[in-house]
Amino acid sequence: MRFTHDQVEERGHEVHYLCAEDVPPSVRGPWGRFTFSFLVRSHIRASRRAGKPYDVVNVHEPSGLAVSALRKAGGFPRVVVTSHGLERRAWELAKEEARLGRQGPKLKTRVIYPLTSLWQSDLALRKADHVFCLNFDDRDYLVRHSQIPAAHITRIYPGADTSFSTATVGRDYSRTDRILFAGTWRKNKGIEDIAPAFAELARRHSALSLTVLGGGVPESLIKASFPGEIRMRVHAIQTNTDAETVHQFASSDLYLLPSLFEGTPLTLIEAMMSGLPIVTTATCGMKDVIRNEENGLLISIRSPAAIVTAIERLLSNPGFRAQLGLTAQRDALQHYTWPHVARPVAEAYERLAGNAPS
């Protein structure tokens, strides 16, 4: 969102931020789901009292209750609630995982999460003036199940800096040694399927390695997901600068993201901009931007076998790798630069601000 709002500022608007690192330690912890929402509301009211009222406030879905549902008290501004993957849909998938015998929510979570978070998200979305969501499945769900008019919803996209493209000019599509997974090492990213799939691929291809970029957990925890004999071929990397991230994408050969549930992942767009051949699941925002067999390969969720089959196709066909990678890069340059993806966001703000209370 920061990259998007840089573009909004270039249109002449002023943007302020209130993020997790701005929150006092007393607001964090188990009650953070409640207290942060009211902290946002207090910040808005204080700004209004200081003579600097906001025209539009954009608040994340889990933290939107106090702003969205109570916005009319005190002449609040227009409220946009942004969902990076609907909490309600994610919860339904988590329970489905348990029914299928996979890792589902713990008993404590089954009790606490609906009571402390889920209802807040539902209400925040229904009471908002406008909703931003990151895939068409979420948009359709909001229309059908939350009774939100389609005109009040904007489907937005992440973007990628063109440095990902310039760093990969002349990419060597004959290389096939390094698979890149870029994302937090957690269940919704499909990590339960990555581990057995890579174990099988590593058995067949002795030079193949897997890089986990930005896992957000200790390397030992990531490596523990894999059989001991291949752990030395799994590398967990955290980057500190944008240039380091660009380098990791540029030096990889294939991109794998078998997520169960997402919005539209930023790293998917960065992989496209890098010209990487992509294997990802046919769900959520991935199927919105990846056209199977044209700019990537779409596979079923929960299928290590499908991962293996798709990766094997790419390993055996350099021409196909180049076709997918170059088409993905061309699409990213045309549709997913930051100026392009920020435009509908800025236009929605401007429409709302034009009708905002004075």
SS3 59: strand
> Using CA atoms, how far apart are residues 210 and 63, in angstroms rounded to an integer?
35
What average pLDDT values come out for the chain (358 residues) when binned by 10 residues?
Answer: 94 91 69 74 87 91 82 73 95 93 89 86 93 97 96 97 95 96 96 97 97 96 96 97 96 98 97 98 97 98 98 97 98 98 96 66
Instruction: State how far the Cα of 313 lies from the Cα of 194, in Å rounded to an integer.
Output: 17
pLDDT of residue 68: 81
The alpha carbon torsion through 187, 192, 194, 200 (nearest 10 deg) reads 170
Same domain, 76 and 178: no
Strand bridging mode 254-257 / 278-281: parallel
Convert 195-206 into a string of H (helix), E (strand) and C (coil).
HHHHHHHHHHCC
22 plus 79 within the same structural domain: yes
pLDDT at 356: 42
Rounded to 5°, the CA angle 107-109-111 comes to: 75
Sequence-distant (6+) residues with CB within 8 A of 102 are 192, 302
Whether 330 and 343 map to the same domain: the answer is no
The CATH number of the domain where 249 resides is what?
A: 3.40.50.2000
The distance in angstroms from the start CA to the end CA of the chain is 26
User: What DSSP assignment string belongs to 270-304?
Assistant: HHHHTT--EEEESSTTHHHH--BTTTBEEE-TT-H
Q: Are 275 and 322 found together in one domain?
A: yes
* 297 shares its domain with 342: no
Structurally, how many domains does the chain consist of?
2
293 & 272 share domain? yes
Domain identity same for 298 and 227: yes
**pLDDT for residue 28:** 62
pLDDT confidence of residue 41: 84
- Residue among 114, 43, 271 nearest 179 (CA): 271
Q: Are residues 38 and 168 in the same domain?
A: no
Q: What is the arrangement of strands in the sheet containing 278-281, beginning at the earlier edge strand? A: 234-237, 209-213, 178-182, 254-257, 278-281, 297-299
pLDDT of residue 337: 98
Q: Which two tokens stand for residue 285?
A: 């925002």
For 243-289, the pLDDT digits (tens) are 999 999 999 999 999 999 999 999 999 999 999 999 999 999 999 99
| Model pLDDT for residues 168-199, shown as the tens digit of each residue | 999 999 999 999 999 999 999 999 999 999 99
12/141 same-domain check: yes
Task: Report the Cα 318 to chain-centroid distance in Å.
Answer: 29
Residues 182 and 329 in one domain: yes
The domain of 46 spans 2-159+338-354
For residue 341, the SS3 value is helix
Tell me: do 343 and 312 sit in the same domain: no
- Structure confidence at residue 358 (pLDDT): 38
Q: What is the pTM of this model?
A: 0.93
- Work out whether the CA dihedral 150, 95, 104, 235 comes out positive or negative: negative
198 and 143 within one domain: no
